[in-house]
Amino acid sequence: MPDKYAVIGNPVAHSKSPLIHAEFARQTGEDVSYAAILAAHGDFETAVERFRSEGGRGMNVTLPFKHRAHALAQKRSRRAEQALAVNTLAFESDAVHGDNTDGVGLVRDLTVNLGRALRGTRILLMGAGGASYGVCGPLLDESPAELIVANRTKAKALTLCEHFRRLHPAAPVLSGCSYEDLAGKRFDLVVNATSAGLTGEMPALPPGVFAAGALGYDMLYGGSTPFLEFAGGEGGETADGLGMLVEQAAESFRIWRGVRPETGPVIAMLRL
């Protein structure tokens, strides 16, 4: 019998995780199965426990349950503690372990797949929701010269920065602001971690924030977005979040199985 894993969320039918993990299993020869589980909003904890009691070895957790997965985990990684959210649960004999692989997924996509060194760069992170909490710590770990978090609701950007200042030794380079505060500033990397693209919108980013050779990275994936069109129009290079999706999955797979799959072929397959 294969070892059982699953992604749990609501909605979850759109998730590419079963396909990605099936490819990882085929590639590495690991004997695993991977399902998608839809949990009712009131039923998340029960659904996790049911899967675990039926022999499940681990789960990926997606919207809207990442905060509840953080509360459910009995042991948490530093990444999960910083993010206040868990996207990877590992069911060990002693405890439920929680981790967050979103940030390392973004950093690996940027540094390995896209060849962008982050040390000493000026980074703009747009959004102060769950995705930004997930990636802020790992971005700070890369020692940027500056990391500015801009958000429509400025107070949330300031709260995020206070949280990371308490937890992270590199946080002095971190500050929060609104979009209008960005006028006149330049960045080497602009990451869109807002959900604005889901409704065909983009945050009120002022023109001129892309430095020469800058990259505009949208965590959304699956085609062009208003942000990527804006970034391209400003002369920036562009990338969507498909590589991040596959990289965060690869890190979950490594946590569970102790082997890191090759991500390049899986990213290429998903782009076909």
Asked if residue 265 has a cis previous peptide bond (ω within 30° of 0), the answer is: no
SS3 117: coil
Closest CB 234 distance from ligand NDP, rounded Å: 17
Among 80, 96, 139, 245, binds ligand NDP (CB under 6 A): 245
- E strands along the chain, which residues? 3-9, 32-38, 56-61, 75-76, 88-91, 96-99, 122-126, 146-150, 174-177, 187-192, 210-218, 237-239
SS3 194: coil
Site for ligand NDP (CB under 6 A): how many residues?
A: 26
Let me know if 66 is a catalytic residue. yes
Token pair of 20, please?
């990605």
Closest to ligand NDP by CB, 62 vs 121, is: 62
Residue 77 binding ligand NDP, by CB under 6 A? no
- Which of 66, 75, 156, 185 is flagged as catalytic? 66
- Chain position whose Cβ is nearest to ligand NDP: 129
Binding mask 129-158 for ligand NDP (x = CB under 6 A): xxxx------------------xxx--x--
Residue 220 binding ligand NDP, by CB under 6 A? yes
Task: Map the footprint of ligand NDP across residues 34-53, applying CB under 6 A.
Answer: none
- Determine the residue type at 244: M
Sheet holding 88-91, edge to edge: 32-38, 3-9, 56-61, 88-91, 96-99, 75-76
Site residues for ligand NDP per CB under 6 A: 102, 105, 127-132, 151-153, 156, 193-196, 198, 201, 203, 219-221, 241, 244-245, 248
